[in-house]
Structure 1
Amino acid sequence: MQTESKDKIERVLGMYSKLMNGYIVNKAEEAQIYGVNERSIQRDIEDIRGYMDTASTEDGIINTVIYDRNAKGYRLEQIYEMKLSNSEILAICKILLDSRAFTKKEMTKLISRLVECCVPKVNRKEVNDLIKNEEYHYIELQHRSEFVDKMWDIGKAIREHNFVDIEYQRTKDKALVKRRIKPVSIMFSEYYFYITAFIDNEEIKADFDVLDDSYPTIYRIDRIKKYKILPEKFNIPYANRFEEGEFKKRIQFMYGGKLQRVRFNYSGNSVEAVLDRLPTAKIENEKEGVYTITAEVFGKGIEMWLRSQGDMVNNIEIK
C-alpha cells in the first residue's frame, strides 16, 4: 500500500512539473511511462486540478488544467500569466545587456537565473539561442567592480533612513574622500547606478557651491570603495517640498547641485525625445515647428545636455 501511495505521489509530482513548465501531458504516454492505466492518469489529473483550484483561493493565481484537442493532451491554461513569454524575456534580457551595468560574470548569472525562473522549460532553449550571441560578445565597463550586495545594503539604509559612512573615489583627481551621507534614492543612468544623497558633514558642506540642504549630491555606486551603515536615523530633508517621484524627475543628468529652471527653444525633428529626456518639461508654445520648452532639473548637467543638441536648441535661459 505504501508503495502504491509513493508511486502515485511520484506520478502526480511528475505531471505537475511538466504542466508548470509548459509541456503537454498525454494520458496514454503517461500511462506507459508509469506502468498504470489511463484511468489512473485521469484521476491524477483531477487531483492536480483540485489542488490548483484550492491554491488559487490562497494566492490569487488562477491556473486551470484544460484538454487541448490540437495537442492531444492536457496543458496549463494560465502558465503564461505566471511566467514570461519569449518576447517579454527577450526584451528584458536585451535591456539588461545593453545597459552594460554589471560585470560579465554578474550579467551571465542574472540572465541565466531570469530564464530559469521566468521562462517555461519548454521554451528555454529557444530563448537562450536568441540571446546567446549578444551575451557572448558582452563588453563589461572599465571599473569591473561587483556592487550588487553594496547596492542592496544601501537600499535598506534608504528604506530605514540610516546614515551611511562612505569612502568615495572622486572622478576629477581619483582621491579617496570620506563622507557621512543621508541616502535617499538609487538611480540608473547611462551604464551606471548612482546614489542620491545629502551630505551630513558641516565642515565639508562649507566648501561646496551649494549650501542648502534641499540640494542633493550624486555618487556612483561603483566608486564607493568602503561603506558602513550606521544605526543613527535621519529625516528626509525634502519631505515638505515634493514627493520622491517628483524629486527623481528632476535628477536626470547625475550631477548634483541646486534646482534650476530652464527655458529654451527647440527646432529639431522630435520634440517627443526632449519631453522623454526631461520628465518635468512642458511646451509653452509652438510656432512654425519651433517649440518653447521649460523644465526643472537639479545640477549643471542640463547645461551639457543642451549644448550637445547643437543648432536644434537656442535662446537658453537658466535660473
Structure 2
Amino acid sequence: MSGSATRQLTIYQTLLTGAPVTKKDLVERFDVDERSIQRDISNIRNFIAEENLELELEYRRSTKAYQLVGKTQTFGKAHVLALVKILLASRAFNKDETEQLIELLLARLESGEQRELNWIIKNEQSNYLPLTSATELLKPLWDFSLYIVRSQAVDITYTKQRGEKVTRTIVPKAIIFSDYYFYVVSYNPKYDNDLFYRLDRIKEWHPSDEKIKVEHKDRYEDGKLRKKIQYMTPGDQKKIRFEFTGILEAALDRFPMSKVIENDGKKALLEVETIDQGAKMWLLSQGKRVKIVSPADFKNEMQAEIKAMLDNYVE
C-alpha cells in the first residue's frame, strides 16, 4: 500500500472516531506539505460521495478543522454534555475511568466546544466522588457482555454483602444499571433460578468448562424487568393497590406498569405490577403518603415492617 493510501486511511479512521482534524496538525503528523493533505481530504470526500455514505465531511472556519458528521443528525456539544452529566451523576466508575470516558466524549468536539464544556463541567468534575466500592468496570462490563452474546457459562469469585467470598458458576443473561451499580442477571444452576450479581463484587472470572443448558427461546427481556422492579432486589411479582397522597407523577415514574384507578386531586388509588420486595422499599420511603389496600399478604408485610421500625424508637 502506498504512503498516500496509508495516510488517507489513517485520517479517515481518525475522522470516524468523531475527532476533528486540521491541515496543520496533519502536515506535522505525516511530515508532508499542505497540498498533499488537501488531496487526501478531497479523496476522502469523494469516497464518501461515491459510496453514498450517510456522512458529510464538514469544514469549520472558526477552528479550521474538518469533522465527519451524519447527514441526518449531528452528535454535538449538547449530546456530549448530557452524557457527561449522566456519567458524573451515576458515580459508578472510579475516578480514572470517569476521566477517561469524559476525555473520549470531549474528543468528539472541536477545541472551542471542548473548552466551553470543560468550563461548564469543571466544578462537578473536580468534586466527583465515586462510590466507596468503585473499582475498574470497563473490562468486566465488556467481558460479561460477550459472555451474554455467547451464552457462555462463567466461574466467578463473588464477594457477598457482608464480605464473605464464594465461588459460583453462572450463565450471564443481561446487564442492568440501577441505583449506582451494574448488575449481571445470571442463571444459577445450583438454585435453578435467575439471580442478581453486582458487577463490582465479581473479583475474578473466567469461562467455565461446565456445560450448562439454559432453557429459554428468546433473549432475556431485561426491558420488561425494568418496568417491574424498583431496586435490584429479588422477590415475587405482585399486583399491588395503594392510596397515594404524594406527587402522583413520582409514583407513576417509579412504577411504569401502573394505572390510576381513582384520583380526586388530593388522593389517588393506583394499581401497579411490580416485584414486591423492591416495591416495599420505595413505598416505605414515602411514609404517611402511602396506604396499602391489597393484596392482604403484602399489606400485612408492610404493617409488620412499620411496627418493627417503630419498635426501634421505643425506650
TM range (shorter): 0.7 to 0.9
SS of the residue corresponding to residue 92 of structure 1 reads helix
Distance in 1 separating the partners of 2:122 and 2:37: 38
Alpha-carbon displacement from aligned partner over 1:36-61 (angstroms, at most 9, x marks no partner): 8xxx9999886565333124x1xx31
Q: How far did 1:23 drift?
A: 7.6
Gaps of 5+ in 2: 25-32, 299-315
SS of the residue corresponding to residue 208 of structure 2 reads strand
Distance in 2 separating the partners of 1:77 and 1:113: 16
- 2:254 maps to what in 1? 277
TM-score, structure 2 normalization: 0.73
Matched residue type, 2:166:
V
User: Which residue of the other structure, out of 237, 248, 252, is the alignment partner of 1:259?
Assistant: 237
- 1:208 maps to what in 2? none
- 2:101 maps to what in 1? 110
Residues 103 and 76 of structure 1, relative CA distance in 2, 3 Å threshold: closer
Matched residue type, 1:152:
W
TM-score, structure 1 normalization: 0.72
SS of the residue corresponding to residue 84 of structure 1 reads coil
User: Which residue of the other structure, out of 208, 218, 225, is the alignment partner of 1:247?
Assistant: 225
**Structure 1 residue 218 and structure 2 residue 217: aligned?**
no
- 1:177 maps to what in 2? 166
Q: How far did 1:225 drift?
A: 1.9
Residues 199 and 54 of structure 1, relative CA distance in 2, 3 Å threshold: same
**Structure 1 residue 306 and structure 2 residue 283: aligned?**
yes
**Structure 1 residue 146 and structure 2 residue 145: aligned?**
no
Distance in 1 separating the partners of 2:151 and 2:68: 44
Distance in 2 separating the partners of 1:178 and 1:294: 40
Q: How far did 1:146 drift?
A: 1.1
Instruction: Map 1:51-70 onto structure 2 (within 5 A).
Output: 51-55=47-51, 57=52, 60-63=53-56
Alpha-carbon displacement from aligned partner over 1:283-303 (angstroms, at most 9, x marks no partner): 223234322222222351211
**Structure 1 residue 128 and structure 2 residue 143: aligned?**
no
How many positions carry a matched residue from both structures?
Answer: 279
Distance in 2 separating the partners of 1:148 and 1:292: 43
Q: How far did 1:306 drift?
A: 0.4
Q: How far did 1:236 drift?
A: 4.6
Q: Which runs of 4+ in 1 moved over 6 A?
A: 22-25, 40-46, 73-77
**Structure 1 residue 160 and structure 2 residue 159: aligned?**
no
Residues 110 and 196 of structure 1, relative CA distance in 2, 3 Å threshold: same
- Check the 8 A contact 1:185/1:196 in 2, yes or no: yes
What is the Cα-based RMSD across aligned positions, in Å?
3.9
Q: How far did 1:182 drift?
A: 2.8
